[in-house]
Amino acid sequence: MRDEVLTAAHTSVDAAAAWPGKAAGTGGSGAAWAAEAAGAAEAAARRTLRAQIALLESELAQAFVTAFEMRIDSLQGAADPARPRRGAPRLLDLGELEQIRDELAGRLTNARARITAATGEQAGKRELLARMQLEPGRYRFTRISCRELGEPGCGVWQVRPRLGLVGMLMGWWQVKLSSGCPLARGRGRRRVPPRS
Amino acid sequence: MSGSEASAGPRRGAVDPTVAAELPGLRLDWLTVTVRRGSAVAASGPDLTARLRMLSDRYRGATVIAMRTHPIPRAYRTFYRQIGLDPDVDRIPSEQAAIARLLQGGFASADLISDACLVAVVETGVPVWALDAAAVDPAPPGLGIGLAGTGAGADAGAGADAGAGARAGAGAGAGAGTGEGSLVIRDRHGVHAPLFGMPLAGEPGSSTTAVTLYSLGVAGVPQIHIDEALWLAAEQLGAAQGR
């Protein structure tokens, strides 16, 4: 992408230099015109880069939301408050804009790779859960959390014996879903009935 | 608007031609509201605090996560990147307000000016800042956007009456730098604040009798949202004067 922008800018400058009567070396006004054309080409390149940054930012935001919906813990590079501040707001030159564009492109690539990997892992877990439900005896004590399935909540699917030890001895296995998230403040004190 | 008066509608601020050429769509609108002396930094009334409570109920974690895909926050985030700020480090004002809401469990009321600006940014997504009108030169070109270290006037803070503490609502904390070449809010006498940053000086104080509210728009933010943000903030100030 970077090469395309630079090539476009250089092509414009070359075209300006090749213009009849305006080529560099044919006079002061020609050199000035070439410099002006180069400036215009660079401004156009900056506009292109800003448009690319806008597109990448938009796609990165979508990837961030997708990762949140899929319960992917941390999308590397999508929101890292530990990153250093970049300083005051200013007009960026071509190099700085390219740097930001490249950084965003890298982050987007990483984010998409993580989302793709997580999609595969979650699909595998769902398939395993389906097999657990079909043949619980083959997957004794296997646990799959809702988070691993990309679902909300703290529940865990687990193959457990029915009726405890009896079930273990008799081979009665079942898939159970735990009740969910623990209470933030514990279960609290047990109520003691007032003495009469 | 009883007890206070907004000067005839929002005025369009001047934008340095170099900046306008590089960043089309960047604009500043401002208006001046007269207030009772001391009321700008007084505690907000019950109506405004009730409104903040009501606005707090709009936010959930998922809402805040999805904010960056909405048109207005996305426009500001994109613009932040284009001017060298990282919106994941220096949050855009609406995200900053939303994250503060999640962390504090509600929108905390500070003072009238801050709350009025907060209501505006939460309702519209467009940030509003406030300056003491005495610190702003209303003569053309008035308040505008420029580059630090260029143009007439010194680049020291132009504040006449610096208020105490950080106020001015939806401050983005976008770096305090106003070094040469950085984008700033200025009038013909000097710099008032970095772009999307808290005012350097000239914040409303206890002796303020008129407040200049200003808002920044970027490409992708409709003008009607900017006007609404300014009117909302002015309305909150006006309603408070009628108490």
Contacts of B196 in chain A (CB under 8 A): 89
pLDDT of residue B158: 45
The reply to whether residue B62 touches residue A68, judged by beta carbons under 8 angstroms, is yes
Detail the DSSP E strand segments found in B142-188. 144-147, 183-186
pLDDT of residue A23: 46
Q: How confident is the model at residue B239 (pLDDT cuts 50, 70, 90)?
A: confident
Residues 6+ apart with CB under 8 A from A119: A70
The reply to whether residue B90 touches residue A85, judged by beta carbons under 8 angstroms, is yes
Mutate: best of B78, B80, B150, B184, partner A, most A CBs <10 A: B78
pLDDT of residue B144: 94
Min mean pLDDT across B44-48, B129-133, B171-175, B209-213 is at: B171-175
The reply to whether residue B182 touches residue A86, judged by beta carbons under 8 angstroms, is no
Q: How confident is the model at residue B151 (pLDDT cuts 50, 70, 90)?
A: low
**B183-186 and B144-147 strand pairing:** antiparallel
Answer yes or no: are the C-beta atoms of B40 and B211 closer than 8 Å. Answer: yes
Distance between A7 CA and the closest CA of chain B, angstroms: 21
Most distant pair of Cα atoms in chain B: their distance: 47
The reply to whether residue B89 touches residue A83, judged by beta carbons under 8 angstroms, is yes
pLDDT at B85 over 60: yes
Q: What does the pLDDT look like over B152-205, one tens digit per residue?
A: 554 444 443 333 333 433 444 444 566 778 999 999 888 999 999 988 888 888
- For B81, the closest of A43, A83, A100 (CB atoms) is A100
Distance between B241 CA and the closest CA of chain A, angstroms: 36
Which range among A90-99, B32-41, B142-151 has the greatest average pLDDT? A90-99
Residues 6+ apart with CB under 8 A from B21: A43
- What angle (nearest 5°) sits at the alpha carbon of residue A49, between those of residues A45 and A52? 140
Identify the helix (H) or strand (E) that includes residue B34.
strand B27-34
Mutate: best of A42, A48, A49, A50, partner B, most B CBs <10 A: A50
Mutate: best of A68, A71, A86, partner B, most B CBs <10 A: A86
Residue B227: count of CB within 10 angstroms of its CB: 18
| DSSP single-letter state for residue A138 | G
User: Percentage of chain B surpassing pLDDT 90?
Assistant: 58
Q: How many Å apart are CA B212 and CA A39, to the nearest integer?
A: 38
**A91-112 burial by CB neighbour count: b if 16+ within 10 A, else e?**
bbebeebbebbeebbebbeebe
Reading the block at residue B4, the tokens are 């206070």
Q: What does the pLDDT look like over B87-139, one tens digit per residue?
A: 999 999 999 999 999 999 999 899 999 999 999 999 999 999 999 999 998 88
B141 cis-preceded (ω within 30 degrees of 0): yes
Q: Does A54 touch chain B (CB under 8 A)?
A: yes
Answer yes or no: are the C-beta atoms of B80 and B196 closer than 8 Å. Answer: yes
- For B182, the closest of A62, A83, A89 (CB atoms) is A89
**B150-177 burial by CB neighbour count: b if 16+ within 10 A, else e?**
ebeeebebbbbebbeeebbbbbbbbbeb
Residue B27, strand partner residues: B217
pLDDT at B12 over 70: yes
Q: Does A62 touch chain B (CB under 8 A)?
A: yes
By residue count, chain A amounts to: 196
In this prediction the ipTM stands at 0.83
B76 by DSSP, 3-state: which? helix
φ and ψ of B18, to 5 deg: -65, -45
CA B207 to chain centre: 20
Mean pLDDT of chain B: 84
Closest CA to A53 of A7, A88, A94, A3: A94
Please give the C-alpha separations between residue A151 and each of A126, A132, A146, in angstroms, as whole numbers.
11, 18, 5
Residue B11, strand partner residues: B30
Q: How many CB pairs under 8 A join A and B?
A: 95
Q: How many Å apart are CA A186 and CA B4, to the nearest integer?
A: 53
Write down the residue that tokens 């296997």 correspond to: A142
φ and ψ of A175, to 5 deg: -100, 125
Closest CA to B216 of B194, B234, B240, B242: B194
pTM of the model: 0.80
Q: How many Å apart are CA B75 and CA B103, to the nearest integer?
A: 24
pLDDT of residue A43: 92
Q: How confident is the model at residue B41 (pLDDT cuts 50, 70, 90)?
A: confident
φ and ψ of A52, to 5 deg: -65, -40
Along chain A (196 residues), what's the average pLDDT of each consecutive run of 10 residues? 51 46 56 84 94 96 90 60 71 94 95 93 94 92 91 89 88 88 68 69
Answer yes or no: are the C-beta atoms of B92 and B83 closer than 8 Å. Answer: no
Distance between B181 CA and the closest CA of chain A, angstroms: 6
Residue B147, strand partner residues: B183
Reading the block at residue B107, the tokens are 């929108």
pLDDT of residue B183: 95
Please give the C-alpha separations between residue A115 and each of A72, A127, B61, B242, in angstroms, as whole numbers.
8, 18, 20, 54
pLDDT at B2 over 80: no
pLDDT of residue B60: 84
The reply to whether residue A68 touches residue B81, judged by beta carbons under 8 angstroms, is no
Q: A186 or B85: which carries more pLDDT confidence?
A: B85
Reading the block at residue B183, the tokens are 């984008």
User: Percentage of chain B surpassing pLDDT 70?
Assistant: 84
One-letter amino acid of A10: H
One-letter amino acid of A90: R
